A and B are shown apart, each in its own frame.
Chain A
């Protein structure tokens, strides 16, 4: 059993996005975070101070831990932003403005 089977989900066709250039599959209706979790990825940011990895924590837009760069826009909350075909998702390092 997986969550899609549990809810008898019949999503539209999967599409491709990239995480740091690597192609991963995503489904319509997923957030960026859900697509990354489904691809087995749990961290996509390093902190400004210690460079420690972070990913989802609160899952509802309160904590800002899941910040990520999507299509060159840094500091997007992965738990809120819907994933779209062709999205270029990049691990956000520090403030996201340093590259």
Chain B
């Protein structure tokens, strides 16, 4: 790669990261895309592993033409030496160094083992770290065969693998539709799609929806596909418990009343070996938090140019607010153009990205409307029995969380964590955070995680040694 010109590190190779990399590289900035996966695409465009020799990966995807454009653009820039792609790089921290010529150090761990370190230095950083799925607990949700809806999709797209023969897809949110149709297309019998919201309520938000007729058509397409595959859709229903000893055998579903409570007497059992469940998405914000970026609600705060409030740090895609791949593309494009202009020392002209900004505004409004309709049942915590494990890592039950609040007087999630260990395990509360807050009756707080992933002590010691030796000036070259 050429050593000329300013250098931008893009963290994440999903739609936002790739759109940003293309926009910045097209304006003369050296770009290094640092990504944890073996191949680019992120979650939305996750590709079957090369070894599987898939000749028709598009069968698993939507918006395939957009992907081809991104992929071809990236390949051209990589061939020209203007973009470097670091695969299998799990970034655990981005450091801002004010007194060095290049302002940022990106710390990563290599490969699935995540034991050996790698470092990238850059003048600016663009965070496109995406999101992950929120799942609220219910009795039996730890039984093998219960997977996140997004997880079922990731295993299908990336590994061409399905967890069983008969699935129930449940929870809430627009993700459930492609997961159900994807599993059905792959030969899984989808016994039911169980949605706790009533999508008819979207009609009341017609104004916001009218701005994106393409997204409405997409939804209608899924609905037709579900009908064609004879997938029974139960709206205003929820899964109340699972059955099985060492593996899922059935789920009990029940209807919800207008207040979001289970209607007694409506319970029925559906035999299945797989439950794909999800209650919406959460942004990955760890790297932004450690950099000191302002976080608003669960999201990284950005301005019109997709800048965070930390100089030299941009953010785009799900990390700034959940809104899907099309919004991530628009935000990535704007962020990449803004970063390029500012790295060359000039103010960008927003008129250059007027089309992307218009798209961004409409899509944000569209997803705000979706968000107001798709919600977990208002009284979901009432279904969580005291014996239900809430923190999957540390095996902390709902009863223990309630005792921490009711008997020991915990008034916030941090105190609950200290008293019960809920959120103290391998996943660092990423999975149980919303559940613990809901059951404790405390507001969700932004978790402060100095490291975005578990880091071997030896790697940390090495970083400290390097800092002492001022060795941080030596750049580790991208492997292009």
Contacts and interface: CB of A to CB of B under 8 A. Distances in A.
A82 interface: yes
B161 A3 contact: yes
Secondary structure at the A interface, as helix, strand, loop or mixed, is loop
B186 interface: yes
A38 interface: yes
Interface stretch (B142-150, B349-357, B408-416): B142-150
B51 A54 contact: no
Contact of B161 (A8, A33, A82): A33
Contact of B53 (A9, A34, A49, A52): A9
B323 to A, nearest CB: 19
Contacts of A55: 144-145
Interface residues of A, number: 50
B13 to A, nearest CB: 14
Given A12-B51, A64-B426, A31 B159 contact: yes
A57 B144 CA distance: 8
Interface in A31-86: 31, 33-35, 37-38, 42-43, 47-50, 52-65, 67, 73, 76-77, 79-82
B395 A28 contact: no
A10 B59 CA distance: 15
Interface stretch (B42-50, B98-106, B264-272, B335-343): B42-50
Nearest to B133: A58
B55 A9 contact: yes
A7 B160 contact: yes
A8 B59 contact: yes
A27 interface: yes
Nearest to A50: B395
A59 B147 CA distance: 8
B122 to A, nearest CB: 24
Nearest to A45: B144
B185 interface: yes
25 contacts: A1-B186, A2-B187, A3-B156, A3-B187, A6-B186, A6-B187, A7-B57, A7-B60, A29-B49, A29-B159, A33-B159, A33-B161, A37-B163, A49-B395, A54-B392, A57-B146, A57-B392, A58-B133, A58-B150, A59-B152, A62-B430, A63-B148, A64-B427, A65-B392, A82-B49
Shortest 9 CB-CB distances between A and B: which pairs?
A29-B51, A59-B151, A34-B159, A64-B426, A28-B51, A29-B49, A43-B144, A34-B161, A29-B52
